Structure 1
Amino acid sequence: MGKLLRLTDVTLTDTAAPRIAHSAGISGALNRYIAGHVNLTDGARVTSLADYQGNNTANLWTSQGHGPLLGTDAGAGIRYLDFSATEAAKGMLRASNSAVNPVTLAVVVTTGKNSSNFIAHNGYAFARAANGQYSMKSGATSAYGGPSGDGWIVIVATFDGANSAMLIGGTTVSGSTLPVPAAAQGDFNLGDYQISPGARIAEVIKWPRALDATERTAVRTALRAHYPAAA
């Protein structure tokens, strides 16, 4: 007679293995990182983050500083990676990726005003200005827009060097003038020596193509269904 397998024998929250997740709205994502899948307690330091899509070569690792802390926004019901603590070198999680252009990035985030880059990919980046607006960046060129209020927000941005655009809080911001980075690094970073007011990131998804306006809306709708506190 075979051995019965009890639920207590199984680690259901093993972040090294892909498992069922909420919908991303559009299939075909290359990488997906979800703070809610980290099998650690709040306050623990996160030194590595598995790629939910199962692309093990794209796991994120602490390469500089100390790495973020895991936390939960109880009011919003959102688990997050906290890059906003006041340590002098909070550091980042990084993966070395082959250059992907065009690319679409979706992020569920809250961050303070006038914060440095909180996500960077192959020369592209997200940041937030002193006036509260978010920006998509390529080198020294930026496109700003969207809501300026605080709180959790869903950003879905396509970077393609010609028709770049950012959907944020239901508003589309044109970044068509953003150039393809001249010196593509091939890196994918969460956090960038974030200190207060740094970012709290719940989820990041990457597609290796340019999602159109309808697809970006589908992604935002799906993520807001899972994170209803996010604009």
Structure 2
Amino acid sequence: MGVLLLGLGTGTGDPIAPEPLYSLGADDFSHRWAAERITGNPGDIVTVWPDSITPNTDDLRISSATSRPFVLATDTGEKVVSFRPTDATSLAATRAGGLGAAGTIAMVVRVDPGGTTGTRIFANAFGINFQKAGNNNYGISGNGGNAYRGGALDAWVLLIFETDGSSPLASGVPVVSVNGTESTALSGPITPAVNLTPLTLRATTSPAVEYRYAEVITWNRMLTAAERASVFAAVKNRYAFI
């Protein structure tokens, strides 16, 4: 429902039907994009990733019909959305991840290595970039500062970011969590930028490595520490690769 699959890739047989969504513990999310809900076979082109909460209103949609597409793939038996950039292609929402209000985003993502140097941006929301640094740590950056937590050269992570909507953001307010390891410290105050909204999945073209997304969830509030722990536990239980 709401997903456009153009042509057939390497998949065979009937399209795989969507699976039911699992509980995160904090289930009052505002939007939820789960690759497991996409009907199709590995290799199918994905131009629309439907929102499970408000389909057709806040689906993630490809920015250009002529750009290199996102494709449906599998990783450790799980459906994922894969993308290897050759230009500025992106999947963007309509309303999620705006400025000036409290919110939380959680992303199950894997950015493949593109060498030991170079920052790989894989999304933006709330006026912030989400990225993997040259030292392979995952985190955020924006106008004035950044914050990173541990990561790995080629591994899946659950990255959680939450903000109270203030501008600039100062240390002690936003939370950055990578696979359960958290920090509220920024290298400097960050002023969220309107051009980094709404929620957009995108990729740095150099180095042009593969990006994979299994799930993206947003809340219209900041989660508590116990809720963040619940989300991490649920995601880790759901995906063998976390």
- With structure 1 as the length reference, what TM-score do the two structures score? 0.81
- Aligned match of 1:224: 236
Amino acid at match of 1:179: I
Separation of aligned partners in 1, 2:197 and 2:133: 25
- Equivalent runs, 1:146-225 vs 2, <5 Å: 146-160=150-164, 161-162=169-170, 163-175=173-185, 177-183=188-194, 186-192=197-203, 196-225=208-237
Residue equivalent to 1:70:
72
1:27 deviation in Å? 1.6
Q: Structure 2 stretches of 5 or more lacking a match?
A: 1-14
1:165 Cα deviation (Å)?
A: 1.2
What amino acid is the match of 1:192? A
- Deviations 1:125-155 (Å, cap 9, x if unpaired)? 2100111101112335211122334211212
In structure 1, the residue matched to 2:50 is: 50
The amino acid across from 2:71 in the alignment is L
- Classify 1:179/1:90 alpha carbon distance in 2 versus 1 (closer, same or farther; 3 Å): closer
RMSD: 2.4
In structure 2, what is the Cα distance between the partners aligned to 1:183 and 1:175? 23
**Pairs within 5 Å for 1:14-163:** 20-64=20-64, 65-73=67-75, 76-83=76-83, 85=84, 88-89=86-87, 91-97=89-95, 99-100=98-99, 101-113=101-113, 114-160=118-164, 161-162=169-170, 163=173
Residues 109, 157 of structure 2: 8 Å contact kept: yes
CA distance in 2, matches of 1:182, 1:36: 32
Q: Aligned residue for 2:8?
A: none
Moved more, 45-54 or 97-106: 97-106
Instruction: Tell whether the 8 Å contact from 2:20 to 2:37 is kept in structure 1 after alignment.
Output: no
Stretches of structure 1 lacking an aligned partner (at least 5 in a row): 1-10
Q: Percent identity?
A: 26
Instruction: Tell me: CA distance 1:26–1:91, structure 2 relative to 1, closer, same or farther (3 Å).
Output: same
- Contact 1:115-1:198 within 8 A present in 2 as well: no
Cα shift at 1:90 = 6.4
Alpha-carbon distance in 2 for matches of 1:184, 1:196? 22
The one-letter code of the counterpart of 1:135 is G
